[in-house]
Amino acid sequence: MAIQWFPGHMNSTRYAIKERMKAGLDVVIELLDARLPGSSRNPLLAQLTEGKPSLKLLNKQDLADPACTADWLAHYNALPETRAIGLDASVTAPAKALMSACRELAPNRGGMAKPLRVLICGIPNVGKSTLINTLMGKRAAKTGDEPGITKIEQKLVLENDFYLFDTPGMLWPKITVPQVGFNLAASGAIGRNAFVEEEVAVELLAYLRLHYAPLLLERYKLEVDPTLSDEELLEQLGRKRGAVLSGGRVNLQKAAEILMYEFRQSTLGRITIETPEEFAAWTASGEAAEIQRLEEQKARKAARKARR
């Protein structure tokens, strides 16, 4: 299943970022989901802001696996002109650390004559509005548990010489790595009308049974039997949680909703659904498949032209 979700306002965001780049920027902050720090990184944003120092904020770190978060921070901090810090957007002190990190990335900016101009971006529902409200000390941005709450750009003054430009959450027009689409859907970054809950839940369960089997046992009393398929395991989960229809059939839709909701709320425990190595492998495979698809498409066009 290919998952795609790119509402019209996201195209407007892309244009707004291009215009902001022309007006001048010093640092780009990208807010990432600490549970999926690779899948929540926007490749389109990297193209739009090429050449600018970058601060990666791994938000919701309190929901993520601490060991995996450390690996991802090391991964991003090893990149040129990049800083990465973990963050829980609801905690004031760590949130304010981003201002000092931005000043380190742009040491020649500061003061009223050369105020620091910072763009903050992120995928939908990653917690950007909550972070901004924490930074401002008031309700400066709308928040919610549905993607796409922020729809217009905002200019915020954090300090007299620190300007923060907030943009709506933005995905990218074509997700070429299937696992990235599943992970984004599982996290709530993609509108629910763009995917089938059962399919996403099966993919999520496949990862959890491999890496977090003890948490499945603790939460659902679910023994991870290697002879069961992922679909059969989801059915067992549904029975354990009472998602049973008349006649004893399991409501797989309800079982999927339970699993994804409890993953998003961290009811299962602190979980990260990708490592830097796994994400690199998925990306390489997805890019190779996309190249092959384009070559086959080109060959079909050439064949049709030759027949004409």
Residues 23 and 134 occupy one common structural domain: yes
Same domain, 30 and 119: yes
Residue 143 is assigned to a structural domain of this protein: yes
pLDDT (0 to 100) of residue 158? 87
Specify whether 246 is located in the same domain as 123: no
205 inside domain: yes
Indicate whether 68 and 159 sit together in one domain: yes
Alpha-carbon span 43 to 177, nearest angstrom: 12
pLDDT of residue 22: 81
Residue 186 lies in a domain: no
pTM of the model: 0.87
Within a domain: 124: yes
CB 45 within 8 A of CB 170: yes
277 within domain boundaries = no
Distance CA 26, CA 86 (A): 21
**Residue 207's domain spans which residues?**
196-264
Last residue within a domain, chosen from 166, 185, 210: 166
Domain count, the chain: 2
Last residue of a domain, one of 114, 147, 166: 166
**Is 176 within the bounds of a domain?**
no
Regarding whether 161 and 18 lie in a shared domain, the answer is: yes
Answer yes or no: do 221 and 103 share one domain. Answer: no
Low-confidence ranges of the chain (pLDDT < 50): 140-151
Q: Residue 117's domain is classified under what CATH number?
A: 3.40.50.300
Residues 51 and 148 in one domain: yes
Whether residue 270 is contained in a domain is answered as no
Asked if residue 162 and residue 37 are part of one domain, the reply reads: yes
Q: Identify the pLDDT of residue 198.
A: 95
What's the CATH code of the domain at 212?
A: 1.10.1580.10
- Are 20 and 160 members of one domain? yes
Same domain, 126 and 228: no
Q: Do 142 and 49 sit in the same domain of this protein?
A: yes
Whether 207 is in a domain gets the answer: yes
**228 and 118 fall within a common domain:** no
